[in-house]
Amino acid sequence: MSDQNLDAILEEASLHFARGQNAEISGEDRARITAWRLADPRHAVAYAQVEHAWERAEALRGQRAPRGARGRTLARRWGAAAAVAAAMAAGLVFWLVPTTQTYRTEVGERRIVALPDGSRADMNTGTVLRVAYGNVRRVTLDRGEAHFHVAKDAQRPFIVAAGDASVRAVGTAFLVRRDGAAVLITVTEGIVALAVAEQGAKVNAPTQMLSAGAAAKIANGAISRAPLPAAALRQRLAWRDGAIELQGETLGEAAGEFNRYNERKLIVADAKVASLRVGGRFLANEPDKFVRALEAGFPVRSAPAPKGDIYLLSVR
C-alpha cells in the first residue's frame, strides 16, 4: 500500500478525472486511469469524491456538461474542474463530500482497511465497521474488534462509537472490542479521550483521558480503567498474528475465544472441566491442536458433537 498522502492522492485523482472526460482520450490512457483507481482503495475514494464534487458544482451552475462534449467549452469546463479539484486537494473535499462505507469480516477472517484520510483499521474476526467521513471522521463499530492507527488531522477529530462508548483520538493507535454489552479499549500509542454516550451518539458523561499502555472497560454507563502489563497487551494484540494467547483463563473462556474464529465450535459440556485454568499460544484457526494439548495435559477428553463441533468432557 502506498504511503502517498491524501493531498497528493486528491491532486492526482483530479488530473486523472479531467483527462478521462476528454472524448479523444486513447484506450491506453483510459486503461491507465482505471489501473490507478484499482491500485489503492484510497485512489478509488478520491476519484469518486472529485467526480461527485464536480457534478454538484455543475448542478449548481445549471451547466452540467454532456458526456462526449468537445472543443473549447469542454476545455474551459474541465479547466474549472481542475480548479475545483485543486481546492479539494487543499482540504475542502471532506467538508463538501462526506463519504460513507461499511466494511465487514466473516468468522475467521482478518482484514486491513486503508481509510480515506490515511488512517488504518485492522479488523478482527466477525467485525462490522461503518465509516462516515465529513467534518468529523466517524467510525461506528457495530460488532467485533478493530485496531485503529489514526492519521493526524487536528481539524477533524477521529471518533469511534461502539455501543455506549465514544473514543476520540488525534494521531494515535488504539484497540476497541465489543464484548457483549461491554466495550473494551486498549491504547497502544498516544492518548485517547473516553466518554459514555447515549446509544453511541450523544455524549452525556465527563470525558476521561487514557494513555498508551492502559486499558478501560465501558459498561452499564460507567468507565473502569487500569494499567495494562506488557504481557496482557501482547495477549490482546495476538489476533493480529492469527493467534490466541491464553494466560490462565478458564477452559470455558478459552473455548469462547476459539469459537470467535471458527465455524466448528468447542462445547464445554462438563462442569468439572469448565473451570480448569489453561495457558499457551495457539493459532486461532487450529482448535484441534488446542484440544490435543488439553487431552495431553489435563483430565479432559473430546467427543464429536453434531455439525462437526467438539464436546470437551472430563475423564471419568
Residue 236 lies in a domain: no
Same domain for 67 and 112, yes or no, is: no
What would the pLDDT profile of 124-138 be if each residue is shown by its tens digit?
999 999 999 878 899
**What local confidence, expressed as pLDDT, does residue 98 receive?**
52
Residue 235 lies in a domain: no
**What local confidence, expressed as pLDDT, does residue 1 receive?**
40
Same domain for 28 and 71, yes or no, is: yes
Same domain for 34 and 109, yes or no, is: no
**Among 117, 109, 181, CA closest to 148:** 117
**What local confidence, expressed as pLDDT, does residue 27 receive?**
80
**What local confidence, expressed as pLDDT, does residue 220 receive?**
87
- Look up the CATH number of the domain holding residue 165: 2.60.120.1440
How many other CB atoms are there within 10 angstroms of residue 203's CB atom?
19
**What local confidence, expressed as pLDDT, does residue 207 receive?**
81
Give me the percent of the chain exceeding a pLDDT of 90.
52
Q: Domain boundary residue among 229, 257, 290?
A: 229
What is the pLDDT averaged over residues 55-70?
A: 53
What is the pLDDT averaged over residues 152-157?
A: 85
> Which phi and psi (to 5°) does residue 82 adopt?
-60, -35
Same domain for 122 and 196, yes or no, is: yes
Q: Say which residue, 63 or 108, is predicted with more confidence.
A: 108
Instruction: Tell me the three cell numbers of residue 63.
Output: 451547466
Q: Domain boundary residue among 93, 128, 158?
A: 93
Residues forming a β-bridge with 216: 185, 225
**What local confidence, expressed as pLDDT, does residue 28 receive?**
82
Instruction: Tell me the three cell numbers of residue 96.
Output: 463538501
Same domain for 112 and 207, yes or no, is: yes
**What local confidence, expressed as pLDDT, does residue 201 receive?**
45
- Residue 214 pLDDT more than 50? yes
Same domain for 214 and 256, yes or no, is: no
How many other CB atoms are there within 10 angstroms of residue 279's CB atom?
10
Instruction: Tell me the three cell numbers of residue 73.
Output: 467549452
**Among 83, 71, 64, 66, CA closest to 18:** 83
- Residue 105 pLDDT more than 60? yes
Same domain for 271 and 220, yes or no, is: no
- Residue 19 pLDDT more than 60? yes
Q: Domain boundary residue among 229, 254, 283?
A: 229
Q: Say which residue, 295 or 76, is predicted with more confidence.
A: 295
> d(Cα 83, Cα 66) in Å, to the nearest integer?
19
Average pLDDT, the chain: 83
- Residue 83 pLDDT more than 50? no
> d(Cα 192, Cα 212) in Å, to the nearest integer?
9
Q: How confident is the model at residue 16 (pLDDT cuts 50, 70, 90)?
A: confident
**What local confidence, expressed as pLDDT, does residue 177 receive?**
97
**What local confidence, expressed as pLDDT, does residue 93 receive?**
47
- Residue 200 pLDDT more than 50? no
> d(Cα 311, Cα 228) in Å, to the nearest integer?
34
Same domain for 166 and 276, yes or no, is: no
Cell 464436546 appears where? Answer: 311
- Residue 79 pLDDT more than 60? no
Residue 27 burial by Cβ neighbours in a 10 Å radius (0-12, 13-18, 19+): exposed
Secondary structure class of 103 (helix, strand, coil): strand
Residue 234 lies in a domain: no
Range of the domain at 265: 242-314
Residue 170 lies in a domain: yes
Same domain for 63 and 168, yes or no, is: no
What is the pLDDT averaged over residues 202-226?
A: 83
Residue 237 lies in a domain: no
What is the pLDDT averaged over residues 178-192?
A: 94
Least confident stretch, 2-16, 55-69, 238-252: 55-69
Same domain for 78 and 148, yes or no, is: no
> d(Cα 141, Cα 131) in Å, to the nearest integer?
9
Same domain for 255 and 148, yes or no, is: no
Residues forming a β-bridge with 209: 193
**What local confidence, expressed as pLDDT, does residue 236 receive?**
95
Instruction: Tell me the three cell numbers of residue 229.
Output: 502489563
Same domain for 193 and 104, yes or no, is: yes
How many domains, the chain?
3
